[in-house]
Structure 1
């Protein structure tokens, strides 16, 4: 039954990929289509109000500068609101201002689409902050990332320019995230997810004691939290909390919400490239890696914890530690895999309690740059590996590599090398550094190999802009707030700028006519090469630290 549940969800996704990918192409192709009649008037009003008169294409540098400037302004507003939230309206619980380093970490976390939460949502921020800071940044960071992904696709597929950032940014809101968020919010409310501005409920328990139960505008945050692959929860328990995720049905809805847009982007890319097989080739590579790692997690959690099994305790239901009974092994394993493959970071079970082998799945997906990724990250990263694969194949046969009819040369490979190397650098260096000081080691709550995995997971999640965590780590300290904040910034912006530069470089190249010697990138052979490239780079880079952490813990438990 567990496998059947997983197969059904994947089948629903497959049925939706083509229509959603086609819709995304119509939104961002800037060609006249039916959506203009629905949204065009509203968007023209926004452009007029904001003073945006020119909608022409930008250079990659201007696009990147517009992206960065917009993000800086949003960060400033978010930081200010968090520091002043104690005196702002919609604060029925009287929550005070957020501490400086925690405010820094929080706004960086949300603008980078990471949503790494070193605070507990129901006690750390007011209703006003949940809406004006958290929810606002969930929309804008997702739209920013989506825009950059589309710009990159335009660049490598030979469009006249990478586009106009502000036009893409507005369209991502008006035609994608706002309509979908409204729809999902209404469905969530219908499935008993709270949406209110009333203060905490005060109830009397069976023992006669008084208990306060936090509520608030949960459904609206929950929708964009997953659609925008953000992951930040209204509650500290995130999607394991019954108010955020009350039933298996809402669980499936949340899985599809965070998976659908990233999974549809390869098909959109195929439409841009005028070669749908290219899109399906990328999707196949993503899905193959996803299924392999999902299988590892599901198998490991189904087998239970070896230490508990050795005690003679019945573990026929698998390892249920840290999991909700209403979801079980299958929906917990699927949620864990999707949330790290799509760089969402929300959790419906505590990753700190995963079995050692089960914990490899979320780690590996983030180390491999999120496979499907969110906000277009997965598509951009997979295309980056595809270009690298073409380059390696060209070296082996002594031919100048080409991708989509354009030569791959030294400039592109240097930029791709930067994007690839920055990822392990900002994971492994801070992880090692954390063990050199008591500021880092003092937050580890588990001894031995699991403690190493806690630290490794924190920086991996930050670098991948994922946001999930091994919550056993006591991470709300100045050391962790500042170091993870810097890692999140580097993980988001270095690779984005590098890949926009690649797009700008590719646009300037003249198309090369296809010949009998052209290496095809839309067949099964190249899909295998792409998967191999991703796995080899990931294995060479991260296998030693995986052995020191979860694999060593697994062998010790046995």
Structure 2
């Protein structure tokens, strides 16, 4: 089978899987965000944190809750990183400098997950689990909670209540992210992604040099890294490392997890506003951008001119031989369009045109399909601006989903 055919089969299988999940997952997320029923575990958490699960918040209160939770998360993660030398499972790694710990804490709390360090040599297992992995869950949940509040703003009338941030945060984690993460962490572990608490092992290379390679709870962190569109690798090589991404199947599965929730949320929007056509329209725009990016990026990396590249059959420098061009560009397109930050090949090694496409994807502003929550609310802001301009052009009062758009709404959209 040619590599080109194999690549297109991967894309087709991915599209089919996302289409199959679009309706049931989108409907399920809508039920999570609209039901008045609380699970017993959720009620217990509400009692611990002192929250009335049946109380709605005005938008200033919802906003302050988001900011307060994020601020406390930054301080908690910063303290955990700075104290890791005194914690269990620290592997004896040296203490991280204060400025680097501050950078890391802010990066993971904001769902940026940019790393200025090599993961395996700077973080112990406890900090990876209790710090970074936890933030991978809650930062993704915050993104979904924010878009849920925005959708409620469209659907509710004669009220200034947008739901309860703490309820949204708990439900999204317990009912959505955790169940999916548990299932697919087992799938990843069954297919070769490591999951243990081992320390460093000395491994002799082919040239006789010795390298220290740690074990770790990788599968459990890898799954939420992709599912929550977080990024940040357990190892410095990220998803090019065979302990994080050992086979072609795990590579495909990680791309699927990256796109799963962002592509399902338009269905959630359609259900919550009572018009599924709105969801289909947004999903279609997202899909057009993603398909175009993937096709152009694959073409750029497989058809680049130059004697060395033509002899090799493609631009393979910086790409993992186990995956090849198609799987590398599929991953690159998906991760840059969702602002995930995970990589299975290195974008600075791409061809000039291919690297330009990845940069263009990043500069789109997370809309195709964007991150968990951020993609959908980015698209909705663009829809508001487009409807406002179109209304002015035809001389009608701009209106979207029954809500009139005036100067106040456009000021907020412009600020965004």
Query: Normalization by structure 2: what TM-score?
Result: 0.95
Matched, 1:343 2:339: yes
Which of 360, 364, 368 is the matching residue for 1:368?
A: 364
* Cα distance in 1, alignment partners of residues 379 and 155 from structure 2: 15
1:140 corresponding residue in structure 2: 138
Matched, 1:331 2:336: no
Matched, 1:229 2:225: no
Q: Offset of 1:207 from its aligned partner?
A: 5.4
Is the Cα–Cα contact under 8 Å of residues 149 and 375 in structure 1 kept in the other structure? no
Unaligned runs of 5+ in 2: none
Task: Work out the number of aligned pairs and report it.
Answer: 408
The verdict on how the C-alpha distance between 1:319 and 1:158 changes in structure 2, with shifts beyond 3 A counting, is: same
* Cα distance in 1, alignment partners of residues 246 and 388 from structure 2: 48
Counterparts of residues 52-63 of structure 1 (less than 5 Å) = 52-63=51-62
Counterparts of residues 69-148 of structure 1 (less than 5 Å) = 69-92=68-91, 94-148=92-146
| Superposition CA RMSD, Å | 1.5
SS in 1 for 2:127: helix
Is the Cα–Cα contact under 8 Å of residues 115 and 230 in structure 1 kept in the other structure? yes
Matched, 1:10 2:15: yes
Counterparts of residues 385-404 of structure 1 (less than 5 Å) = 385-404=382-401
Q: Offset of 1:88 from its aligned partner?
A: 1.8
Is the Cα–Cα contact under 8 Å of residues 309 and 315 in structure 2 kept in the other structure? no
SS in 1 for 2:413: helix
Which of 154, 157, 166 is the matching residue for 2:155?
A: 157
1:285 corresponding residue in structure 2: 285
Question: CA offsets per residue over residues 291-334 of structure 1, 9 Å max, x none?
Answer: 12222111101113x3xx1x466445311111111111111111
SS in 2 for 1:91: coil
Counterparts of residues 237-252 of structure 1 (less than 5 Å) = 237-252=237-252
* Cα distance in 1, alignment partners of residues 219 and 193 from structure 2: 6
Counterparts of residues 21-36 of structure 1 (less than 5 Å) = 21-32=26-37
* Cα distance in 2, alignment partners of residues 205 and 394 from structure 1: 66
Query: Normalization by structure 1: what TM-score?
Result: 0.71
1:214 corresponding residue in structure 2: 214
The verdict on how the C-alpha distance between 1:332 and 1:313 changes in structure 2, with shifts beyond 3 A counting, is: closer
Is the Cα–Cα contact under 8 Å of residues 294 and 361 in structure 1 kept in the other structure? no
2:273 corresponding residue in structure 1: 273
1:424 corresponding residue in structure 2: none
Q: Offset of 1:53 from its aligned partner?
A: 2.8
Is the Cα–Cα contact under 8 Å of residues 33 and 168 in structure 2 kept in the other structure? yes
* Cα distance in 1, alignment partners of residues 387 and 110 from structure 2: 30
* Cα distance in 1, alignment partners of residues 13 and 86 from structure 2: 48
Bigger Cα displacement from structure 2, 370-379 vs 231-240: 370-379
Question: CA offsets per residue over residues 143-191 of structure 1, 9 Å max, x none?
Answer: 1111111111111222653110000000011001111111111111101
The verdict on how the C-alpha distance between 1:207 and 1:293 changes in structure 2, with shifts beyond 3 A counting, is: closer
1:68 corresponding residue in structure 2: 67
Question: CA offsets per residue over residues 249-295 of structure 1, 9 Å max, x none?
Answer: 00111011111001000000000110000100010111111112222
Q: Offset of 1:202 from its aligned partner?
A: 2.3
Q: Offset of 1:361 from its aligned partner?
A: 2.1
SS in 1 for 2:352: coil
Question: CA offsets per residue over residues 220-246 of structure 1, 9 Å max, x none?
Answer: 110110111111110111001010000
Runs of 4 or more above 3 Å deviation: 203-211, 311-316
2:352 corresponding residue in structure 1: 356
1:548 corresponding residue in structure 2: none
* Cα distance in 2, alignment partners of residues 338 and 407 from structure 1: 35
SS in 2 for 1:359: helix
Is the Cα–Cα contact under 8 Å of residues 144 and 169 in structure 1 kept in the other structure? yes
SS in 1 for 2:211: strand
Is the Cα–Cα contact under 8 Å of residues 127 and 216 in structure 1 kept in the other structure? yes
Counterparts of residues 168-183 of structure 1 (less than 5 Å) = 168-183=168-183
Question: CA offsets per residue over residues 45-68 of structure 1, 9 Å max, x none?
Answer: 111222223531111110000010
